[in-house]
Amino acid sequence: MNFFCTENNLDKDELMIRISLNKDFKKNDYGEAIFYKDNGEILAAVYPKMGRMVVWNASVPFIFKPPAMSYVQAQFDVLVRITTSKEKAEQAIAETKVHFFQWDSIK
């Protein structure tokens, strides 16, 4: 299976955090996070709920299902990746500066 939202550079020393921000999500609105075992079997599914914070090891394969077609609002989440690796943190800071502050080089 190649549809997991994982990256090759994620290690066991990293965590992912998802915070759901929609207050009116219902179970049939979908939008859940699905976590998989290495063999492709579903390990768990977590439905979004306002304020719900899910924390998992970044090495666990996962995918976020889109909301149902009948859910006319946007789905809002905060997704954070944290690491204990100083090198990865410094690399992420450098990449963020390039992506978010490119306009400085245009002046």
Q: Is the pTM of this model over 0.85?
A: no
Residue (of 97, 106, 49) closest to 76 by Cα position: 49
Beta bridge partners of 19: 53, 78
pLDDT tens-place values along the chain, 107 residues long: 444 555 555 567 889 999 999 998 887 899 999 999 989 899 999 999 999 999 999 889 999 999 999 998 889 999 998 988 899 889 888 888 887 776 555 54
Q: Residue 11, SS3?
A: coil
Identify residue 103 by its one-letter amino acid code: W
pLDDT at 25: 85
